Each structure stands twice: as structure tokens, then as C-alpha cells.
Amino acid sequence: MAILEWSDDLRVGFGPMDEEHKKLIDLINDLDAAISAGHAADVIGGFLEDLISYTVWHFRNEEGLMQQYGYPQALSHRVQHVDLTETAEDLQQRFLDGDHELADTLTPFLKTWLTDHIMGTDKALGRFLADKVEAATA
């Protein structure tokens, strides 16, 4: 069973962001499945690397949209991105250094962070972007 399922509650109302969030959820679920199955540390490390790489790419996309459309809360949103990236990279390094006990807390942490970020910060950004795009096409 997946640790995190996509639902309408997670929809931010801006299609490209929603699709990227679905991919992040899939990556978290893949990582959780690898951990649950007891796969070797190098396999789990690979899943973690993929998740971090995609997350950084996704954050760059969001930040580009914030800049393009003049999002007023861009700085505080970016700070959250930086904090998560630094935390995830720290957890990854600890895991690669042999702290495999943190594997049990890794995916619950990522699930909580992602859902909290989507439900709060990203929903506000999604509404803002949807309004901007709608106004531009009206």
C-alpha cells in the first residue's frame, strides 16, 4: 500500500504543478516501497537520489513561475524550498554514511512535509497562477 495517495485535497488548481506533485508522490511511494521491502542501501540511495533530483527540478519550475508572474510571496516560498532541499540532502548524506535507521523516518517525514507544503504554500501559489493565466487568456 502506498504511503501517500493523490487526492483532490492535494490539487492546487494549476495543472502543471499538480502533475509534478503527482510525480513527487510516486517517487516518495517508490522510496517507501524499497525501504519496506528491505532493499539494499544502494538501491534505497538511488531512489532517494532520484527523489531529491526531481524535487530540485520541480522547485526550480515553481520558482520560475513565481518570478514570471510576480508572485508576492516568492521569497518565503523559496525559503521553504531551500530548507527542504538542505534537510533532504542532509538525510541522504546520513543514509549514505551508514545511518540506515533513519530510513524508517525518512518517508513519513517526506510525506508530511510534502502534504503540508502542498496544502498550504503551494495551494496559494496555484490559485495565484491559475488567476494570472486565466486573466491572460480572457
Any domain includes 109 = yes
Range of the domain at 128: 41-64+75-138
Query: In whole angstroms, what is the distance from residue 69 CA to residue 3 CA?
Result: 34
d(C-alpha 75, C-alpha 63), whole Å: 9
Whether 69 is in a domain gets the answer no
**Is the model's pLDDT at 138 over the cut of 70?**
no
Total structural domains in the chain?
1
In a domain, 87, yes or no: yes
**Alpha-carbon 13 to chain mean position:** 16
The reply to whether 81 falls in a domain is yes
pLDDT digits (tens, 9 = 90+) for 72-115: 999 999 999 999 999 888 888 888 888 878 877 888 888 898 99
Q: Is the pLDDT of residue 15 over 80?
A: yes
Is residue 31 in a domain? Answer: no
Helix ranges restricted to H, the chain: 15-36, 41-69, 74-96, 103-117, 123-137
The whole-angstrom separation of Cα 54 and Cα 104 is: 21
Average pLDDT over residues 45-54: 86
Whether 14 and 129 have beta carbons less than 8 Å apart is answered as yes
If you average pLDDT over residues 106-132, what whole number do you get? 91
Give the C-alpha separation, 37 to 22, whole Å. 22
Q: How confident is the model over 117-131, as a mean pLDDT?
A: 94
